[in-house]
Chains A and B, each alone.
Chain A
Amino acid sequence: MAEVKLEHIEKIYPNSEPTKKRKKKGDAPERKSNLKITDQGVVAVEDFNLDVADREFVVLVGPSGCGKSTTLRMVAGLESITNGTLTIGGEVMNDVAPKDRDIAMVFQNYALYPHMTVRDNLAFPLKLRKVPQAEIDQKVDEAAEILGITEYLDRRPKALSGGQRQRVAIGRAIVREPKVLLMDEPLSNLDAKLRNQMRAEIIKLRKRINTTFMYVTHDQTEAMTLGDRIVIMKDGVVQQIGTPQDVYDHPHNIFVSGFIGVPQMNYFDARLTKEGDDYKVELDGVTVDLDGEKERVLRERNVEPQDIILGCRPEHISLDKVEGQMITGLIDVSEMMGSEVHLHLDVDGKDVIVIVPSADVNRKHGAGSLDVGQHLDFTFTGDVLHLFSKVTEENLVY
């Protein structure tokens, strides 16, 4: 139960391989990934700022190597902080040992003590803190009950399934009621069904224990369903911080728009035009009016007409006929997902995904009209569009 503040946090790995190679060969900086390389070394996390409120659930999400786990490990004290200040509950924690930070962490590979029974695993952090035995027993039983592992208390971790092991790992973390609970991809080792089940259990668990959560994942579904707020990272840099709804509705750049939302957002080359005070978007001979809110912001920012990348989520594409507004594509692939069908259209060589509710396929569109090889007309309205600068890839509106 504490707030966590990360101010200008940076992690630089000195003397890493790329730097060494550069010095040896004396040539230009090598770029294995897109991480920034300075004279000090490789910048794994750059100028990270975040205020996690008391009892908030913040999810750090991003592709592999984006620095999300490194950030979490810096909060845990498992990695040193190169620059910046970390405070937990108002105390600066930069140089405090992990055991003195009053945090707990759940690891991707469970990290249970294999030589101890489940009961001993749960009791271990309490024993180290010299908690009286009666209290240890009570807390272990409570945690076991919350997580439904009471019947496995006398087993060793190797006799448990993956899901049970992860429950034990979560139990070990919650048993001593830490100020902050850190989770590093805790569901990544589980199969899809179990992952969904455990995700729901984490949501329930969160309601039962009053603590601050920081959760790392590369799975945007986990991020969207679990987090009060999401931090989206790429190449060590924070791309956007916001509520799940906010990052879905108002992505700050192309990366965020593509990372959040399944299937991924569709992109089109388009041109932003201005006639008097009115902004419009033109693509493939179709002109789309923008909604009032977007126009207001563009006017305020005095955005010049320019070539842009237009984004539209598959679920926002409309198949309703509007005279002179239709774009035509050829159905390449049809993916039956159950409640809906994902159609991949070829529009001038570009892949565009359209989502059609399964119920509408025959009823509304007619049998065979959405089969592979058929042409399909689609359009979209101005209120669901996202306008990104072609140069900076930033959202021109948000």
Chain B
Amino acid sequence: MPERIKTLASKHRGLVVVSVIMAIVCVIWVLPVAAVILNAFKWNTFVKTDTFALWNAENFAGWSNFITGVTFGNYNFWLAAWYSTFITIVSTFLILLFCSMAAWYITRVDSIWCKIIYYLCIFSMVVPFQMVMFTLSSTADQLKLNTPWTIPIVYLGFGAGLAIFMFVGFVKSIPVEIEEAASIDGCGPVRTFFFVVLPMLRSTLISVGILEIMWVWNDYLLPVLVLDINQYRTIPIHIQYLKGSYGTVDLGATMALILMAIIPVIVFYLACQKYIIAGVAAGAVKG
């Protein structure tokens, strides 16, 4: 018995150590977000000096940083927000629609071409963006993909790898008999996809959707390289250009805009969090 108590005690000690380490990791992860929230409501001068200080009567700026951020410079923040929203929604929609279709086709049609396309998609996840970004920007210019209305096509290309990989994993777990039953019940391929396959992909659609939304909404490099930034700016680009005439940066206003930019994604993520786990598990169990 004493030996057992000893083992339990050492297990307990182990758990405490792991918990402490995890708590530290959590703090490290949360710290930048906390810094953004704290500093978004501080006067610019206090951001540099009292970065992690809590609000007090002296440093608390109220909503003034937000007003400055939104009205700063000669580019309309709401226009940037509109471009960001448009690009994010359209890109995610295109990725979900086309990649789920492609994954269904790749899984169900047994041909060498499907295998090649699938492995190309996997390979595209391995290639770092920096390797292709310059050729991409010139290609995008030539193909007129350099506007907010056409850049979703570029995002579709870059998002396809991960999305197809995740969709294929899940489609493989759907018994083919369900689709055969649909074809006997009166569905052609299009109806089978939209009435039967797509509804079954719901959890994976949400998982992939969340990942893509977070990526596109927060993406800075791709729009900077592809878009004409004097004409079109997304929120991350707009924040980068919050500079005064002598190159001074209003950090308080920057923090306020960063906070405005991350809130929609965080809210969206929290709302859909349970589906992410369901989606990942659904694809993983029966792959």
CB of B48 to closest CB in A, whole Å:
54
Report which of B175, B185, B188 forms a contact with A124, defined as CB distance below 8 A: B185
The answer to whether B180 has its CB under 8 Å from any CB of chain A is yes
Residue A109 is within 8 A (CB to CB) of chain B in the complex:
yes
- CB neighbours (8 Å) of B196 from chain A are 113
Give which listed residue, B178, B180, B191, contacts A113 with CB less than 8 A: B178
- A101 CB to closest chain B CB (Å) equals 8
Contact among A76, A108, A113, A129 for B184, CB-based, below 8 A: A76
> Interface size of B by Cβ–Cβ distance < 8 Å?
18
B265 within 8 A of A: no
Tell me the complex Cα distance, A108–B175, Å.
Answer: 11
A98 part of interface (Cβ distance < 8 Å) = yes
- List residues of chain A with CB within 8 A of the CB of B180: 76, 78, 98, 105, 107, 111
Verify A128–B183 contact, CB threshold 8 A. Answer: no
Candidates B177, B178, B186, B202; contact of A128 at CB < 8 Å: B186
Look across to chain A and name the residue whose beta carbon is closest to the beta carbon of B191.
A128
Q: Which of A107, A109, A111, A115 has the most CB of B within 10 A?
A: A111
On chain A, the residues within 8 Å of B191 by CB distance are 128
* Chain B residues, CB < 8 A from A109: 175, 177
> Assuming A111-B177, A114-B200, A128-B191, is B184 touching A103 (CB within 8 A)?
yes
Do residues B187 and A111 form an inter-chain contact, with CB atoms below 8 A? no
Min CB–CB distance B197 → chain A (angstroms): 10
| C-alpha gap A109/B180 in the complex (Å) | 12
Number of A-B contacts (CB under 8 A): 59
> A128: which B residues are within 8 A, CB to CB?
185-187, 191
With known contacts A111-B177, A111-B178, A128-B191, A99–B184 Cβ distance under 8 A: yes
**How far is it, in angstroms, between the C-alpha of A104 and the C-alpha of B183 when the chains are bound?**
10
CB neighbours (8 Å) of A124 from chain B are 185, 195
Cα-based distance from A104 to B196 in the complex (angstroms): 17
A125 sits at the interface (CB 8 A): yes
- Please measure, in the bound complex, the distance between the C-alpha atom of A184 and the C-alpha atom of B177, giving whole angstroms: 11
1/0 per residue B163-177: CB within 8 Å of A? Answer: 000000000000101
A111 contacts B181, CB within 8 Å? Answer: yes
Q: Which residues of B contact A129 (CB under 8 A)?
A: 186
For the complex formed, measure the closest distance between the CB of B205 and the CB atoms of chain A, giving whole angstroms: 12
A-B contact pairs, 5 of them (CB 8 A): A99-B185, A107-B181, A113-B181, A114-B200, A172-B181
Query: Which A positions have Cβ atoms within 8 angstroms of B?
Result: 76-78, 97-99, 103-105, 107-109, 111-115, 124-125, 128-129, 172
* B-to-A contact residues, CB < 8 Å: 175, 177-178, 180-188, 191, 195-196, 199-200, 202
Q: Shortest 5 CB-CB distances between A and B: which pairs?
A: A128-B186, A111-B177, A125-B185, A111-B181, A115-B199
Given contacts A97-B183, A98-B183, A99-B188, 11 further A-B contacts (CB under 8 A): A77-B184, A98-B180, A99-B183, A99-B184, A99-B186, A113-B182, A115-B199, A115-B200, A128-B185, A172-B181, A172-B185
